[in-house]
Structure 1
Amino acid sequence: MMQRFLSVSTAFLLAAAPVLAQDGQLVLADNLALKANWAMSGDDAFIGAHAGCYEGLTRVSQDLKVEPALAMEWVLVDPLTWEFKIREGVTFQDGNPLDAKAVSEALNQALKSEVPIRGFSPKQIASVEATGPMTVTIKTIAPLVTLPGSVANPGTAILSPAAYLKDGINPVGTCTGPFEIVEVDPQQYVKVKRFENYWGGKAKLAGGTIRFIPDANTRGTMARSGEAQISRLVPPAAVATLSSGGDLAVLEVNAPRVLELLLNNARAPFDNQKVRQAVRLAIDTAGISNAIFEGKSPPAGDPFRSGQPWEAPNAPVIERDLEKARALLNEAGVDPAALKIEILAYTGKTELRDVAQIIQAMLTEVGFTVNVRVAEYSSIEPDMLSGNYDLALLSRGYMTDVPEPIGYLTADYSCKGSYNISQHCNPEFDTMLAAAASEEDPTSRYRAYGKLAQYVYDNAVTVFLVNETVFDVASSGVTGFTPHPLNYYVFDTDLDAQ
């Protein structure tokens, strides 16, 4: 029987009952933390969006539809040219008016980002220009029918010209959203207050604090004790305990996110497809689902959850078969006993350590000698991106850059992909990607995504473990909070607490 790995703190059992928010203020225990002086290319931009401060030209609804935000409408003028009509009557929190000039300056600042913004970088965008008082024209390098979704990404938020400093970005008083950032402690928190002149109507909540809590167990404990009225991404194994009382609501989201075991396709022995297939056959994904995720995150075949319009047409969940795995290794001429391989995992997601240990034990059964290294993500990412690794665990959102998986497929699997940790490169795959990116008919485009996912499955480029279900917790006094499937918004006009 598989050993059951659990790492949930017993503090849940000892914590006091929740207390409600005071004076219209709410505390959010967030999994993110400021890392790069508000750089738009990473988590810092998501903190600005969670705070209800950052807004883009568009926004993504709960059902993943692209809707107007700071742009009222948009049109594809020709295959490489988009025009966006900017909303009238919007002011930044510093009193400056929103117009096409301010929008174009903000987006051009994004294009200058030291780390490219996935989905909106110089690789995709040729130019951004104010072509009228309230009209912005964006030209793309190649046809990009998903651009309206890309400019909903928090990394493309429109800030006042005063936000852009020589040494970074200052979001205090420079956003357009329903809440204004008023205090920042980069190590601990961001405080916000309601922006009284918000173009979309006054928010119900007076304000609040986002606390940076990287440990998932601690976030769950804060929900239980009442230190936080909303705690994001609590451990799956804590759900039963948190649900046991009547003062907390556990909110379940079938996230567009997959837990992957990345294999270095450019380094022996994983440059051999049969070896990659053998690794896949050696892993019991159903066992991982049950042992680590309480069966709430189903085993994965391809990256996309079953029932989505872009799932691979034939990518069944692999059943463990050690005999066949050993046979494939023999066909590849690989003696696993002669190899020492390492699995990388990172501390930001509590369960990854346990998943790594389970995979270590499973691969040992087919003869590999496996070491596990667990560290802060920032310390292992350079090795992962440069290809200096064997295997790595990654929790990956496949609609983070744009509310379709084209951004994920491009960044992670194209020859020049900005997040191609797998070190995969096939010009034929890139040709298929380009065709999908230019396909205007959604049904045909989704079918093209499915073919790309099928390719990744057939070639065992990545081993997909589980399609993730995530859990947020809210106190009973919180209203108007629905976890966003892309993790874009928290402090919004409807959010309130008593």
Structure 2
Amino acid sequence: MKRHWLLAAVAAFSLSGMAEAKTLKWGAAREIASLDPYSYGDTFTLSVLNHVYEGLVRYTGDLKIEPALAQSWETVSPTVWRFKLRPNVKFHNGNPFTADDVIASLERVTHPDSPLKGNLPAYKSSKKIDDLTVEIEVNGPYPLLLNDLTNIFVFDKEWLVANNSLLPTDSGKGVKGYATDNANGTGPFVVESRRADAKTVYVKNPNWWDKPQHNIDIIEFLPIASASTRVAALLSGEIDFTNVAPLQDLPRLSASPDVKVLQTNELRSVFFAFNLKDALVESDIKDKNPLKDVRVREALYRAIDIDAVQKRAMRGLSRNTGALVAPAIPGYEPSQDARLPFDLNGAKKLLTEAGYPNGFSFQMNCQSDSLVNEEEFCQAVASMWSRAGLKPNLSLAPRSQQTPKRVKGDFDVISFGWANEPMIDAYSLLVQVLRSKNGTGGVFNWGNWGDPRIDALIDKAGVELDDAKRIPMMMEALKIAKAEHLFIPLHQQPMAWAMRNSVASTVQASDNKPRLWLTMMK
């Protein structure tokens, strides 16, 4: 990549006589989907690209909303928000940041072909008041616009036009463009070079508008899919940091005098989802879908020994749950956490009552590089379902292979994780996953599991500004999904970071997003 505007960044740490540049080597469990933050609704990809691109607002390390590219905002009517933009901000190529960039970005991310349009579900339109003022209109009173905007990153319109990139890309469908492999944001780091699946180098942006709270000059992003290789690299000093420390290796890492481990539970809840279309994709039952029968779904639920999954597959570090959202998420209530008990005989009885005394075969789509210990818990559950007389065919492959199948509905059962980001609100799960497909709703409803009663509650909650009324609506929608066993909840996902002593300090938030602009090296 030959970019004249990188010279300033390089000069920041290559001047004669300057101390050696501080380099943080980040060993990640997988590659990002693309350099285009609109290419796929993937929390990890967005968290990495947040080092390059920024939104109008952002979350602090303790998940409070604060100004970013917008200095301030106000509501001028129940459906119109006015944002005053930060002056004197430059994109990495030197172009000035203006209202035109915000509008072009909003139009791009909400385009009908954008896979990220569900992240801005209430958006209606936007208009420029002046170079540093933008108004955003939503389709009704809507309480979560600021939450949504934390993950809607701003592009340089001039750069998009020059590179024929005003339309969105879609990594899930293989739609690529210039922004897939090139980047130009306003953030604290600049993409200096990239070899996909090998190494991406980010260098400090010396012209960042914010006051840096880090001393990192270079980030080397290294996708290392093998857990054992990643651990070995950390212990040997080949990498400084990983945001995915394997659970089975935490005792070994903690015992090293050169390594620190940070461990907690993240916001992400993990569950199984069903394809409720008219027929199974891969089965000995033809022209019929047993999963549409609530008794069958309940049988699959009762056949899971969640304590065994937690102890063996998750190394005792996950939090068992009967809910689809974590306790920290508005919309959660303690009664949601009650699980159906493990009851193998009861599961068999339900299958018999539903007309499947000998079970049936189905495809179980899991990913090898997405959720924590996904391979292990999928294998464990597949074995449990087999003991109930079912015949799951476990398809385990990297997300690059499984995601296109999921998007097309080419599955019978899938593992699924949802952190409710960036909203930090149950409305995220409800509108993007549970709702029937309609406009920006149901973007991740891959299995036709919509319910008119749930849809009505979601639509009412989406325009209710009073939390005392809005939150009970969300609770009721989740209650219906629970009663119908539309999903099988498993656990709240554990998260473990590990770093060498070369990292003096960092911020670990429960959204599991590294914020290296808040990280100090020794």
Q: TM-score range by the shorter chain?
A: 0.7 to 0.9
Distance in 2 of aligned mates of 1:321 and 1:44:
35
**Structure 2 counterpart of 1:346:** 367
Distance in 2 of aligned mates of 1:113 and 1:210:
32
Distance in 2 of aligned mates of 1:481 and 1:326:
50
Distance in 2 of aligned mates of 1:321 and 1:22:
61
Distance in 1 of aligned mates of 2:20 and 2:316:
37
**Structure 1 counterpart of 2:450:** 425
Quick check: 2:84–2:132 contact (8 Å CA) kept in 1? yes
Matches within 5 A, 1:71-470: 71-112=70-111, 114-120=113-119, 124-153=122-151, 156-164=152-160, 165-166=163-164, 167-169=177-179, 174-202=184-212, 203-266=214-277, 267=279, 268-306=289-327, 308-315=329-336, 316-335=338-357, 337-349=358-370, 351-394=373-416, 396-416=417-437, 417-470=442-495
- The range that moved more, 374-383 or 229-238, is 374-383
Matches within 5 A, 1:40-55: 40-42=38-40, 47=45, 49-50=47-48, 52-55=51-54
Distance in 1 of aligned mates of 2:450 and 2:113:
24
What is the aligned-residue RMSD (CA, Å)?
A: 2.5
**Structure 1 counterpart of 2:24:** 26
**Structure 1 counterpart of 2:173:** none
**Structure 2 counterpart of 1:8:** none
Q: Which residue identity lines up with residue 287 of structure 1 in the other structure?
A: A
Deviation per CA, 1:11-56: give whole Å up to 9, x if none: xxxxxxxxxx973111111234244452523278955753622111
Distance in 2 of aligned mates of 1:400 and 1:41:
16
Deviation, structure 1 residue 308: 4.7
Which SS does the other structure have where 1:208 is aligned? strand
- The range that moved more, 407-416 or 165-174, is 165-174
Distance in 2 of aligned mates of 1:113 and 1:232:
33
Distance in 2 of aligned mates of 1:28 and 1:135:
37
Distance in 1 of aligned mates of 2:248 and 2:140:
45
Quick check: 2:419–2:511 contact (8 Å CA) kept in 1? no
Which SS does the other structure have where 1:108 is aligned? helix
**Structure 1 counterpart of 2:3:** none
Distance in 2 of aligned mates of 1:32 and 1:104:
32
TM-score normalised according to structure 1 size: 0.88
Q: Which residue identity lines up with residue 343 of structure 1 in the other structure?
A: M
Deviation per CA, 1:230-275: give whole Å up to 9, x if none: 1111221111111111211111232111221122233411101111
Distance in 2 of aligned mates of 1:318 and 1:478:
44
Q: Which residue identity lines up with residue 378 of structure 1 in the other structure?
A: S
Q: How many residues align?
A: 472
In structure 2, stretches of 5+ residues that fail to align are 1-18, 165-176, 280-288
Distance in 2 of aligned mates of 1:245 and 1:407:
40
**Structure 2 counterpart of 1:13:** none
Quick check: 2:434–2:445 contact (8 Å CA) kept in 1? yes
Deviation, structure 1 residue 415: 0.7
TM-score normalised according to structure 2 size: 0.84
- The range that moved more, 165-174 or 49-58, is 165-174
Distance in 2 of aligned mates of 1:306 and 1:217:
32
1:41–1:485 distance in 2 versus 1, CA, 3 Å? farther
Q: Which residue identity lines up with residue 342 of structure 1 in the other structure?
A: Q
Quick check: 1:39–1:168 contact (8 Å CA) kept in 2? no
Distance in 1 of aligned mates of 2:234 and 2:400:
27
Deviation per CA, 1:305-345: give whole Å up to 9, x if none: 3465422452302320122222222332332x251122211
- The range that moved more, 262-271 or 161-170, is 161-170
Quick check: 1:24–1:206 contact (8 Å CA) kept in 2? yes
Which SS does the other structure have where 2:257 is aligned? coil
Distance in 2 of aligned mates of 1:23 and 1:132:
41
1:290–1:196 distance in 2 versus 1, CA, 3 Å? same
2:478 matches 1:476? no
Deviation, structure 1 residue 96: 2.1
Distance in 2 of aligned mates of 1:333 and 1:40:
45
1:118–1:483 distance in 2 versus 1, CA, 3 Å? farther
Quick check: 2:36–2:183 contact (8 Å CA) kept in 1? no
1:44–1:418 distance in 2 versus 1, CA, 3 Å? closer
Q: Which residue identity lines up with residue 335 of structure 2 in the other structure?
A: N
Distance in 1 of aligned mates of 2:131 and 2:21:
41
Distance in 2 of aligned mates of 1:73 and 1:378:
39
Which SS does the other structure have where 2:290 is aligned? coil
In structure 1, stretches of 5+ residues that fail to align are 1-20
Deviation per CA, 1:57-83: give whole Å up to 9, x if none: 010123322221111222233333222
1:232–1:355 distance in 2 versus 1, CA, 3 Å? same
Q: Which residue identity lines up with residue 211 of structure 2 in the other structure?
A: G
